[in-house]
Amino acid sequence: MNLTSARIQIIGAETLAGAALAAATQARGGAFSLLSADDTNDWRDAAAIEQGIASFRPDYLFVVAGESGGIALNQAHPARLMESNLRVVLNVLGTAARLRVPRLMYLASSCCYPRDAAQPLRIESLMTGSLEPTNTAYATAKLAGIQFCAAVRQEHGLAWFAAIPSTLYGPEDHFDPAQAHVATSLMIRMHQAKQQRLSVFSVWGTGTPRRDFLFSRDFADAAFFLAGHYDAANGPINVGPDSDYSIAEVARMVQQVVGYEGRLEFDSTKPDGAPIKRLDASALRSLGWQPKTGFVDGLRETYAAFLKQLPVGL
């Protein structure tokens, strides 16, 4: 699809992915519209959602909405996370289907893969085993979104598909400790430890689980690449880099970027989550897309943005 003259709408403009897509859309020019959780009472107001989509008449819809967070948030509020993301499926995707939005990309999650799936994670492994217990509720809601896209393709013939990203991080983050994923959470907490001159910094878990990370600007670039080059009939697609790191390695890289000089201590009484999550992004590579940002470079840019939004003196 040629996106030069396409009308593009981003649902979930308040999220990290949504903010990155909004910045990329503005840079590209052309007609675009943003819809956020605040506009729709956290996706409860179906009438506001319908008005927002119908009045703009998008050619392409990016749906990146729904609350998310790390292990602590998933354990504390599984019902809240599941409800938020199911509302997106029912009220946003449901409305878009009734309005026959021709092209749509839904942002799913690597949490949708079974805990014990073979690595790297391939699309064929979806729904073949039990989910990671620490985020089963959230992942179930995201799986519903993936299946809804498939159902709409089958029933209405619309070009809808789901993208499954690696863990996102980047300067567009809101830097909310309660909702941050691992890299950003470590950054926020380690900055606080540095300011408080703490001699020891505690990292959740053993440090052995491995994760892959995708810089937010690279995600937005990949999303637009897929919008222009991907055949939705092929179903979900992974979006990720070609490398992964242990949580211990991530913590040490964040320590280097932040400049924290204390000792890292790993708290094995806290849950690790899945032992390894690395996406097989070979399908995306075969189309010609590659990420551009190295992990440490992305961390540096993210930390600079974090410092910029802090009140003076913090």
Angle at the Cα of 245 from the Cα atoms of 212 and 121, rounded to 5 degrees: 40
Query: How far apart (Å, rounded) are the C-alpha atoms in residues 124 and 32?
Result: 34
DSSP for 206-225 reads -S--EE-EEEHHHHHHHHHH
Largest CA distance in the chain: 59
Q: Label each residue of 26-77 as H, E or C.
A: HHHCCCEEEECHHHHCCCCCHHHHHHHHHHHCCCEEEECCCCCCCHHHHHHC
Token pair of 227 as six digits:
């919008």
Active-site residue (options: 138, 169, 230, 303): 138
Of 272, 115, 146, whose CA–CA distance to 209 is shortest? Answer: 272
Token pair of 56 as six digits:
């703009």
Examine the residue annotation and report whether 138 is marked as an active-site residue of this protein.
yes
For helices 182-195 and 247-258, the axis angle rounded to 10 degrees is 40
Query: How far apart (Å, rounded) are the C-alpha atoms in residues 209 and 63?
Result: 29
Please report, to the nearest 10 degrees, the dihedral formed by the alpha carbons of residues 215, 225, 111, 307 taken in order. Answer: 20
Query: How far apart (Å, rounded) are the C-alpha atoms in residues 40 and 56?
Result: 15
Active-site residue set = 138
